């Protein structure tokens, strides 16, 4: 996924509604306490408000399908964390790990200039 993309989603289907959690192990962070971040927890009251500018979550009504929306893909931590990292979805009996890689676009220099030297 390219840096700045806004359409990233991660969907996990769980077996049990108890203890559904989404965690992020970011590739870059500004503080060691942010190396393992609880983004969403059913028993913790839902989406962590500290990260609401980066993420939102939706549960498909009548199911145990949860979709995490990444609102802005980042490589470098802006205020706290990078959204690039390993996402960890868990409930009482299930565990899923998803890796999100974010890449930065660079324009190549004009090679004709160098070839005509």
How far apart are alpha carbons 55 and 57 in whole angstroms? 7
Q: Domain 8-115 adopts which CATH fold?
A: Immunoglobulin-like (2.60.40)
50, pLDDT greater than 90? no
67, pLDDT greater than 70? yes
Q: Tens digits of per-residue pLDDT, 6-23?
A: 878 999 998 887 789 999
Query: The whole model's pTM is what?
Result: 0.82
pLDDT range class, residue 81, cuts 50, 70, 90: confident
Beta strands (DSSP E) in the chain are 8-13, 21-26, 37-41, 46-47, 55-59, 65-70, 85-90, 95-100
Instruction: Assign 33 to helix, strand or coil.
Output: helix
How far apart are alpha carbons 71 and 8 in whole angstroms? 7
DSSP for residue 108 = P
């Amino acid at each position: 996924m390219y840096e700045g993309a806004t359409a990233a989603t991660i969907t996990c289907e769980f077996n049990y509604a108890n203890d559904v959690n989404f965690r992020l192990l970011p590739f870059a962070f500004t503080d060691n306490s942010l190396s393992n971040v609880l983004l969403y927890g059913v028993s913790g009251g839902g989406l962590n408000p500290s990260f609401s500018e980066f993420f939102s979550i939706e549960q498909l009504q009548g199911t145990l399908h949860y979709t995490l929306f990444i609102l802005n893909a980042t490589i470098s931590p802006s205020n706290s964390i990078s959204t690039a990292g390993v996402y960890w979805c868990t409930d009482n009996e299930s565990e899923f790990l998803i890796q999100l890689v974010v890449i930065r676009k660079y324009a190549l220099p004009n090679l004709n200039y160098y070839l005509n030297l």
